[in-house]
Structure 1
Amino acid sequence: MKKLLSLLLVLSLILAACGKSDKGADGQQTEEKKDIKVASHIPPMTDMLELVKPLMEKDGYNMEIVHVSDNVQPNQMLKDKEVDANFFQHPPYMELFNEANDANLVVVQHVYDAPLGLYSTTYNSVEEIPDGATIAIPNDTSNIARSLKLMETGGLIKLKEGVGIDATQKDIIENPKDLKILEVDLLMLARSYEDVDAVTMLPAYAEPLGLNPAEHSLIEEGKSDFPISLIAREDNKDSAAIQALAKHLSGPEIVKFLEENFPTTYKPAF
């Protein structure tokens, strides 16, 4: 009888423990995850994460911001499950990573729009840009296409009809000024600013140079399909921690942060 009572007690404790846990993707019982790691690398993304970190703590989550040094690490780390989410990129960039790496990264929440601009130390309008000028653009596929579309909007080039985020220099069908387009690593564009005639940059890289798209860009991009977004994996996008972070990154604190710090640069995308 004592052995039977002991066995029943053990079983009851096991069932009680299971009742406090959630089922994972494989159907196994797992304890609810209270820690979350998010990869990012430059302001204002890192600033926004720092802003919502106390809000996550109030919800019971310990959020670690993992600082990286380039635009490749955050996606690879997320794919390899070294982090739970990242916050640094727009959806087309993510989609191209998925295609190239057989990954399953997904958009959880659009956060803000970051307009691409064309900046020059020498010229005040696209009309002033001379024949044979050199224009530096990012060298990753999605931002190559975005830069070429911006140049087309400004009348500098013309692309094949219907090309989208896969557009390359091979899709240029008219280049009346015989412009030389130099593809540069995204993180090196700011250093190229004074060495070329013009450069296409996102605000995160233009801001440290005292530039913003509303006042200094030679071309207005207009409505963008490239919002900076919170990214997770297909297997964890619906987790309570990720959804809590998505809620806070699209909350009133972020709206206030953007309005107070970047009134002419960034706009909420939610």
Structure 2
Amino acid sequence: MPQTHLIAANWKMNGVKASLPIARTIAEQSRGLQARVALFPPATLLPLMADVLQGTDIVLGGQDCHHADSGAYTGDISAPMLKDAGASMVILGHSERRHGHLEPCALVARKSLAALRAGLEPIICIGETLDQRQAGLTIPVLSRQLADSVTSDLKGQAFHVSYEPVWAIGTGLVASDAQILEAFALIREHLDKHFGTNAPQVLYGGSVKASNAAHLLALEGVGGALVGGASLTVEDFMPIIRAADTAPV
């Protein structure tokens, strides 16, 4: 796997045609920087953004995919469709899918296999809610999500895991260093055990912004960041990308 940090921008349900210059400027200002940068716009923008970013090093990805390659699934988007639209990565198991759409770990695992069949590189998200954290259930929750979402079928494939404490997403709250390191130690133990030397990068997500990116990326084991709201403007996102230049890999 790449040894540079992966800085992934999850635009969520934001962005229209007028947002395309943002992607172009991010690509221009990222030239010569060390991080691998990936943009995950809404699916409606993928073909247009692929054209805008042609010839740049920016990676494009989808925010979710169906577990089937095609079929009678109104409103869904398959992994082959994402690939056809210009994507090479996909976010799976984000808390807004797990909780907002009641997606179980088994479905996340099936989606991961669909992504791999289509030639997409999945970022599989895991994380505990505030109630689970306060109840002392963080370790068992993360362990179950790892076991059931990040399965042995991924061995030898290109993928990533993102730890996103649900209570820190879009709230302005950031997990403490100790909380992040505890979670990353658990994740790394699982990945090393099941995937060995080909274990993937582990990202941190949850209110990552310009003011804390350098610190978060310097924490042991943090291989990148999955960024939400702070990725929607050049002014907020570029300092996060530049922070990877000063962080150890």
TM-score by length of 2: 0.29
Task: Indicate the structure with greater strand content.
Answer: 1
- Give the structure with the higher percent helix: 2
Larger Rg: 1
